[in-house]
Structure 1
Amino acid sequence: MVKIRKAVMKDAKAIHLIIKERTKDAMVLPRPLNSIFSHLRDFYVAESDDGQLVGCCALAISWDYLAEVRSLVVVPEARGTGLGVDLVNACIQEARELGVREVFALTNIDKFFAKMGFTETDKNILPQKIWADCINCPLFPDCDEIPMIIKL
């Protein structure tokens, strides 16, 4: 049984490691450990019965009533079990509780997000995101990620 919960201090290094592994295939952007610590409250983790982290996802407030689901990672041995859906749903639930009206993701797995109710959108509606994070990405401005959004 896997439990979805908010991240705590002891999780930061494990979150950093599973994100780092996933950056090798360019599915998520790298996050320095100091960034994980400073944004720890954004993260949800999936923890197995033996206490190992098998996934993570973060909800980052971007702008007025707008938030982003980011750093979604499920370790290879736990993929296909619904953990990704559970992690994104935890973020969406928190977004609703905060009064967020729209949640977006920049993703290479658009079919996954489409099944969850996200629709493709124009990246130009996300100017704060583009200039805050994307400008530092090695793929900028030739990003291959698809902007997806869901209205809550």
Structure 2
Amino acid sequence: MLVKEALCRQAKSGDVDTLYELIKGYAEKGIMLPRSKDVLLRQIDTFVIAEIDGEIVGCGSLTRLGLDLVEIRSLGISEGYKGCGIGSKLVEQLIQQAKEQRIPKIMALTYEVRFFERNGFSVVDKEIFPEKVWTDCVNCPKQHACDEIAVLRYI
């Protein structure tokens, strides 16, 4: 399939319903934490979206975990658009935001290790991120049997 170039932009409040549905699809498969519409609205300034012809086809967010650490969260691509470089474009945009905030470390918990490795991340032990463990993992249903892989990139 020939896919047009995706444009990345900051999310806005009018994008919440679409973001919610995209994230919900991943959450139902157990590969992403769900986010309520209220939470998405409160955190909308942390989200970047990818659009093709006005249609949202991907999203990702950047959440601060400490003075020198941010996390890429809720990175997802709509069915039919995976493998087209949209995820890498979103990651690039999020890395740029971290650079602008002068935050030297970006982490993610993922099942897509190869994707993150292609984008300059390395696999690390997730226990090196107590900021993540104590803010999010304590509320996760997979807390005691987490099968996600931690990745880290220094910028």
Q: TM-score, normalised by structure 2?
A: 0.94
Residue segments in structure 1 that go unaligned for 5+ positions in a row: none
Q: Distance in 2 between matches of 1:138 and 1:27?
A: 12
| Structure 1 residue identity aligned to 2:152 | I
Q: Deviations over 1:50-73 (max 9, x none)?
A: x22111000111101100001000
Q: How many residues align?
A: 151
Matches within 5 A, 1:7-26: 7-26=11-30
Q: Deviations over 1:74-107 (max 9, x none)?
A: 0011111100000011000100010000000000
Provide the alpha-carbon RMSD of the alignment: 0.9
| Structure 2 residue identity aligned to 1:8 | K
Q: Distance in 2 between matches of 1:59 and 1:141?
A: 25
Residue segments in structure 2 that go unaligned for 5+ positions in a row: none
Q: Percent identity?
A: 35
Residue 106 (structure 2) pairs with residue 103 (structure 1): yes
Q: Distance in 2 between matches of 1:100 and 1:12?
A: 27
Q: TM-score, normalised by structure 1?
A: 0.96
Q: Distance in 2 between matches of 1:76 and 1:26?
A: 16
Q: Secondary structure at the match of 1:28?
A: coil
Q: Deviations over 1:35-56 (max 9, x none)?
A: 111110000001120x221110
Q: Distance in 2 between matches of 1:110 and 1:95?
A: 20
Residue 91 (structure 2) pairs with residue 94 (structure 1): no
Q: Which residue number corresponds to residue 60 of structure 1?
A: 63
* Deviation for aligned residue 1:18: 0.3
Correspondence for 1:132 among 135, 138, 149: 135
Q: Which residue number corresponds to residue 41 of structure 2?
A: 37
* Deviation for aligned residue 1:113: 0.4
Correspondence for 1:77 among 52, 77, 80: 80
CA contact (8 A) 1:135 1:141 kept: no
Q: Which residue number corresponds to residue 121 of structure 2?
A: 118
